[in-house]
């Protein structure tokens, strides 16, 4: 599975406005709801917050990969947000998060969900990509960078 198959350009937020974890999750979830109106925003946000209550999805190196599985969801979807100021996310390294990949998958798609998480995680290990994602001002170019780098994995 390629990230370009689950991440749509409309789901990129190059300048996240929210200043806390719950706000970031809501802001990115709203983009997914705009793409798939069958999603219920409150259900999605609640699901993401419940997952966060089990342990932070802030993996360190300024990255967070909040994720959840939802009943009734037809396909795996992703959103991406960037916060120039950083957001406290209870990350493993204790540092603020700047790059957020939000992932949702159908409730019974455990394998697909894990594969997507692994792919995003591998992509985020590239320090050069993280640096480029922080500098790129254009949402179009952000999307291209993610898809191009994913193609190299």
Active site residues: 67
Contact 112, 64 (CB under 8 A): no
Question: Could you identify the residue written with the tokens 């898809």?
Answer: 147
Contact 53, 46 (CB under 8 A): no
Residue 132 CA from chain centroid, whole number: 17
Contact 79, 60 (CB under 8 A): no
């Amino acid at each position: 599975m390629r990230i370009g198959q689950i991440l749509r350009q409309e789901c990129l937020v190059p300048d996240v406005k929210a200043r806390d974890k719950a706000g970031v999750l809501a802001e990115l979830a709203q983009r997914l709801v705009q793409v798939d109106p069958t999603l219920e925003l409150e259900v999605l946000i609640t699901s993401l917050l419940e997952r966060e209550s089990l342990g932070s999805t802030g993996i360190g190196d300024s990255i967070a990969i909040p994720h959840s599985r939802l009943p009734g969801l037809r396909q795996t979807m992703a959103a991406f947000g960037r916060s120039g100021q950083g957001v406290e996310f209870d990350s493993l390294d204790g540092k603020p998060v700047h790059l957020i990949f939000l992932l949702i998958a159908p409730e019974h798609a455990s394998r697909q969900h894990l594969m997507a998480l692994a792919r995003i995680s591998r992509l985020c290990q590239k320090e050069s990509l993280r640096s480029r994602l922080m500098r790129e001002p254009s949402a179009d170019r952000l999307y291209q960078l993610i898809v191009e780098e994913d193609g190299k994995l």
